[in-house]
């Protein structure tokens, strides 16, 4: 059967990708952030999965705001990198894994998650920046096929933290039921605390972020119990993206081993975090 071997939680701030694309990773404003990625990148380079799943949100680049599914999953053979208005990032297009995608669609729908299925999809920075955090120099291709799993964090009402955690648990069961012996890495993206508009524009909450990074490892159910309103109050209107970390964590075992974590403020006007977990020594949730 298939196995989730690791989970990676990371912010997907677009300026992180821009700093990489423009050779600014050693700039004094950015060096500490990228130095914080180094231990995770070194470990990941030695533990390449056969397939990766990226849990992310589109930013009105691959999906029109007139149609925003609560949850969606890509089944394509290839995903083009979106042009977000200033040219596409100089990174490879993404090769999919239609066989595993279709298995996940069937399994998740059978568990009463009514997914929108994307046979064509352009992926934006919410997807490509986490791939770059993982693999800064992909060359002509990313390390393995990648499947996009979309979550609505843009339009109210977003799915609850509890629903996202439950989706992750169902995702883990779906992966383990896949008949081929393959390894899978799951990336949960977004966050950390930030708010881009309104009276609290610029809001960042380091105390909350540190609590979240600790608790996502040890007691994700506590985080899943937070209401939508509490999460926005404590993490900011865009900080609700952290619900996508819960999808990743739900797909893993109850007990995981933290490999590395780091926290940086500010990346642009966002708190940026990374947390990497080894899933090979626990028990299925």
The confidence score (pLDDT) of residue 268 equals 87
Model pTM greater than 0.95?
yes
Comparing CA positions, the residue from 205, 204, 249 lying closest to residue 223 is 249
Asked if the structure places residue 284 within a domain, the reply is no
Three-class SS state of 163: helix
In this model, does residue 34 exceed pLDDT 80? yes
170-223 pLDDT, tens digit each:
999 999 999 999 999 999 999 999 999 999 999 999 999 999 999 999 999 999
- Return d(Cα 164, Cα 64) in angstroms, integer: 22
In this model, does residue 136 exceed pLDDT 60? yes
Asked if the structure places residue 280 within a domain, the reply is no
Three-class SS state of 5: strand
Asked if the structure places residue 277 within a domain, the reply is no
The confidence score (pLDDT) of residue 284 equals 52
219-270 pLDDT, tens digit each:
999 999 999 999 999 999 999 999 999 999 999 999 999 999 999 998 989 9
103 is catalytic: no
Asked if the structure places residue 129 within a domain, the reply is yes
Q: Which of 59, 194, 210, 260 is catalytic?
A: 194
Q: Which of 59, 125, 210, 260 is catalytic?
A: 125
- Return d(Cα 129, Cα 132) in angstroms, integer: 5
Residues whose CB falls within 8 Å of the CB of residue 226, separated by 6 or more in sequence, listed in order: 161
Asked if the structure places residue 180 within a domain, the reply is yes
User: What is the domain-level CATH number for residue 81?
Assistant: 3.40.830.10
Asked if the structure places residue 285 within a domain, the reply is no
- Return d(Cα 279, Cα 139) in angstroms, integer: 28
Asked if the structure places residue 212 within a domain, the reply is yes
47 is catalytic: no
- Name the domain count of the chain: 1
Give 82's strand partners: none
CB 103, CB 37: distance < 8 Å: no
Residue-range definition of the domain harbouring residue 110: 3-200+208-272
Residue burial 186-216, b: 16+ Cβ < 10 Å; e: rest: bbbbbbbbbbeeeeeeebbbeebbeebbeeb
Three-class SS state of 37: helix
Task: Give the chain's mean pLDDT.
Answer: 96
- Strand segments, DSSP code E, in 67-155 are 71-74, 78-79, 94-95, 116-118, 146-151
Asked if the structure places residue 282 within a domain, the reply is no
Length of the chain: 285
Peptide linkage before 34 cis (omega within 30 of 0): no
């Amino acid at each position: 059967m298939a196995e989730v071997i690791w989970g990676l939680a990371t912010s997907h701030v677009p300026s992180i990708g821009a700093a990489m694309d423009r050779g600014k990773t050693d700039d004094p404003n950015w060096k500490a952030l990228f130095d914080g990625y180094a231990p995770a990148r070194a470990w990941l380079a030695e533990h390449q999965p056969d397939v990766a799943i990226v849990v992310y949100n589109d930013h009105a680049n691959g999906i029109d705001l007139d149609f925003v599914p609560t949850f969606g999953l890509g089944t394509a053979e290839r995903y083009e990198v979106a042009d977000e208005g200033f040219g596409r990032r100089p990174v490879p297009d993404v090769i999919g894994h239609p066989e595993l995608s279709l298995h996940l669609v069937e399994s998740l729908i059978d568990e009463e998650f009514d997914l929108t299925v994307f046979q064509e999809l352009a992926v934006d920075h919410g997807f490509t920046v986490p791939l770059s955090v993982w693999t800064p120099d992909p060359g002509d291709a990313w390390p393995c096929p990648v499947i996009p799993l979309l979550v609505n964090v843009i339009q109210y009402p977003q799915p609850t933290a509890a629903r996202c955690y439950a989706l992750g648990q169902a995702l883990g069961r779906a992966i383990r039921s896949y008949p081929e012996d393959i390894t899978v890495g799951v990336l949960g993206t977004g966050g950390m605390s930030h708010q881009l508009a309104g009276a609290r524009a610029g809001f960042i909450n380091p105390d909350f972020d540190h609590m979240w990074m600790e608790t996502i490892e040890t007691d994700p159910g506590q985080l899943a119990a937070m209401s939508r309103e509490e999460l926005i109050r404590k993490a900011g209107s865009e900080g609700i993206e952290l619900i996508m970390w819960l999808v990743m964590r739900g797909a893993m075992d109850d007990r995981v081993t933290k490999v590395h974590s780091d926290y940086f403020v500010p990346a642009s006007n966002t708190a940026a975090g990374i947390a990497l977990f080894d899933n090979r020594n626990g028990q299925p949730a």
